[in-house]
Amino acid sequence: MKTASIPSLRVDPELRYAAESVLKDGETLSSFVEQSIRANVEHRRLQKEFIARGLAARDEARRTGEYYPSAEVHEELDTLLRKATG
């Protein structure tokens, strides 16, 4: 597959220094920027899906009239968290 380039980015020298200061051994600034972009794209994709699921749940609750008290939801979430953390 043919590669594409990301537009060059002008930043404050402090930001460049900060980015360079956290590079791992053998890591380049270019690879750091690429990984940062990939992570942000994935985060935004997941965030968009999360919001879509929430809106769909809201619409379903409105359609069915079935709602749950917040105390009940919090209790269930606390139970799940306790199980997950041992």
34-60 pLDDT per residue, tens: 999 999 999 999 999 999 999 999 999
Residue range 10-34: mean pLDDT, rounded: 97
Distance from C-alpha of 22 to C-alpha of 19, rounded to nearest angstrom:
6
Burial class (CB within 10 angstroms; exposed 0-12, middle 13-18, buried 19+) of 32: middle
pLDDT for position 1: 83
Give per-residue burial for 36-57: e unless 16+ CB within 10 Å, then b.
eeeeeeeeeeeeeeeeeeeeee
pTM of structure: 0.74
The two tokens of residue 85 are 């953390």
